[in-house]
Amino acid sequence: MKVISEISPLRDQILYWRRQGQRIAFVPTMGHIHYGHLTLVKKARENADVVVVSIFVNPIQFEKDDDFSAYPRTLNKDIAQLKVEGVEVVFTPSTDIMYPQGVDEHSFVDVPTFSHILEGTSRPNHFKGVTTIVIKLFNIVQPDTAIFSKKDFQQLAVIDKMVTDLSLPIDIISVPTAREIDGLAMSSRNTHLTVDERQRAPVLVKVLRWISYQIRGGRTDYSELILDGNNQLHEAGLKPNELFIRDAITLQPISNQTSKAVILASSFLGQVRLIDNLTVDLTVQVVDDREE
């Protein structure tokens, strides 16, 4: 496995694989590798001859400087795990490599609508930072396919739209959210939870599952469901941040044409912001508690 931090040698390696007729899969990460990341790597391996993983904590997608500084960085451990998985190259650029003229002078890519609703309302620059770094990495790696988790549901929708709108020749493959045994969505930020907070954290997915069950049982009073869900989170000691029930394709409010909904949630537990989501097939209703 090669660890490359400069753009030119990575492009040289990519060109070599291209000439060999190799298919390339790409997994962009911000590091602090856990099992959830490794499921993406395994999916990449199933869909390509060569797997490239990037590790870069992207400053322009953080709304607060202290959040960027506090993001866990475990590069040596990350590289060791990826080596075990047989990754061919780990790309580890510095901020100076990715933004040589500084972030204020850098060009940005902004995806309309999807980037400015839901989470984008409270974090107005977040998705612009995500799409800018993703397309920059795409241009450097030039993969045939890229692998993303469904845990960041709106982010995945934004990236899908960007790839479609800009006619990028890249297949986007999504992988189900990797979860702990108790249901908590895996995240690099989970390591910041205290022991007590970690025990309470699975309440978030439990509330999403409860809302999903209510919807599949026929409830359409979405505002009341959101209110009830936030109350349950609050009672469990979490600080609700955002809770939405939307069309899973358009991210707009549920309509008569909606066949699949998505429940999107974020909540603070101590200093950690947890995010999660569940999709709900509106064409199937629960008729017996034993089905849950």
Residues flagged as binding site: 30-37, 61, 155, 178, 186-189
Q: Which phi-psi region, left, alpha or beta, contains residue 130 (left: φ > 0; alpha: ψ -120 to 50)? A: alpha
Give the integer Cα–Cα distance in Å for 277 and 292: 17
Q: How far is CA 148 from CA 39, 153, 231, 278, in A?
A: 10, 10, 31, 16
CA distance 141 to 52: 8
Structure tokens that stand for 58 in this block? 């992207």
H-helix or E-strand spanning residue 157: helix 153-165
And the tokens for 237?
Answer: 């000691």
274 Cβ contact list (under 8 Å, min separation 6): 184, 185, 187, 189, 201, 204, 238, 266, 267, 268
| The amino acid at 103 | V
Q: 37 catalytic, yes or no?
A: yes
Q: Other C-beta atoms within 10 Å of 210: how many?
A: 16
Q: How many C-beta atoms lie closer than 10 Å to residue 187's C-beta?
A: 24
DSSP states along 182-213 = TSPBP-GGGGGS-HHHHHHTTHHHHHHHHHHH
- 93's tokens: 């650029």
CA atoms within 13 A on the CB side of 95: 10
Could you give the residue numbers annotated as active site?
37
